[in-house]
Amino acid sequence: MNDCIFCKIINGDVPSYKVYEDEFVYSFLDLSQTTLGHTLLIPKKHVKDVFEYDEKLAEAVFGRVPLVANALKQALPDLQGLNIINNNGELAGQSVFHSHIHFIPRYTNSDTFTLKFTDNSSHYQPERLAKLAEEIKNEI
């Protein structure tokens, strides 16, 4: 893809701080550095989001997650935790439309990056959840 910044990084047209590369993936430090060590893992094949993955690509990309995570753990002795995030679609926070996985190291409770899930358990309806689970299961 000609105008994709991540494709340009993979091709060497745009410089990056590469941490890993093989025939399927490319991993590099995110220039935004939400926290020190913020790393991205991207497929070399241009796909917009996880909905465009096939099984082989998913195995290649997601199979490298422990490799990158453990490298960060070893390289960053103060690391206390790690957020691994994959946004799919603009509404989900995706801003670069070449699939990518964020690795965001956590050091203290006061890191500037905040990820908060809202407790919507008051909306818990066993019948609706049972029906939804069945609908999803039928699609698999």
Give the range among 27-36, 68-77, 88-97, 120-129 with minimum mean pLDDT.
120-129
The answer to pTM > 0.85 is yes
- Per-residue pLDDT tens over the stretch 82-101: 999 999 999 999 999 999 99
Question: Tokens 């590369």 label which residue?
Answer: 21
> What percent of the chain is modeled with pLDDT above 70?
91
pLDDT value at 124 more than 90: no
Query: Residue 104: beta bridge partners?
Result: 83
Q: Which of 140, 41, 60, 54 is nearest to 98 (CA)?
A: 41
User: Which two structure tokens, joined as six digits, stand for 75?
Assistant: 């390289």
Active-site residue, selected from the candidate residues 38, 100, 102, 123? 100
**119 vs 59, higher pLDDT:** 59
pLDDT at 2: 75
pLDDT at 109: 75
Query: What does the alpha-carbon distance between residue 113 and residue 83 come to, in Å, rounded to a whole number?
Result: 10
Confidence label for 59 from pLDDT (cuts 50, 70 and 90): very high
Averaged pLDDT of the chain = 90
Confidence label for 128 from pLDDT (cuts 50, 70 and 90): confident
Strands of 7-123 (E only): list them: 18-21, 25-29, 39-43, 81-85, 101-106
pLDDT at 117: 63
Query: What does the alpha-carbon distance between residue 72 and residue 53 come to, in Å, rounded to a whole number?
Result: 25
For residue 50, CA distances in Å to 3, 24, 70, 114 come to 20, 15, 23, 23
Q: Specify whether 38 is catalytic.
A: no
Contacts of 122 (CB under 8 A, 6+ apart): none
